[in-house]
Structure 1
Amino acid sequence: MGILLDKLNIKELSDTKLRDEILRAEEQIKILKLTEKEYQGYLRMLEAEREKRAIEQNKKINGYGRY
């Protein structure tokens, strides 16, 4: 059974339409959690790239960088 069904303490649902909706909602929650992790990883990657560019720009300004 799904997590929501377990938390609601529902062992059997006679209304299969409701059960299917709950299971579908659980699947969407899993997808959103994965998508959020990917998004957070992308943001960390962008921040690292910004820091790298700032360091390189600072080196150029101070005359320490390679051109």
Structure 2
Amino acid sequence: MKYREAARKLKRLGCRELPRRGRGSHRKWHNPATDRAAVLPDWGARDLKLGTIHAVVRQLGIDWQEFEQS
């Protein structure tokens, strides 16, 4: 799964991307429902590792099944 796909799913689940601070290839996401934040790498066209996506979803307090279905 690429960053854009993951970002689209997170937006559908109510998360929002926090403003960028400086340079770099990572973006910070916030889930207002759980008041948790996590960092998601933005590697452009490269696929993100499944374990990385799992960790971000868990850190944001989102159920994996819910993330997959969105």
State TM-score, norm by structure 1.
0.25
By relative contact order (CA 8 Å, sep 6+), the higher-ranking structure is: 2
**Who wins on radius of gyration, i.e. which is larger?**
1
User: Which has the larger share of helix?
Assistant: 1
How does the TM-score come out when normalised to structure 2? 0.25
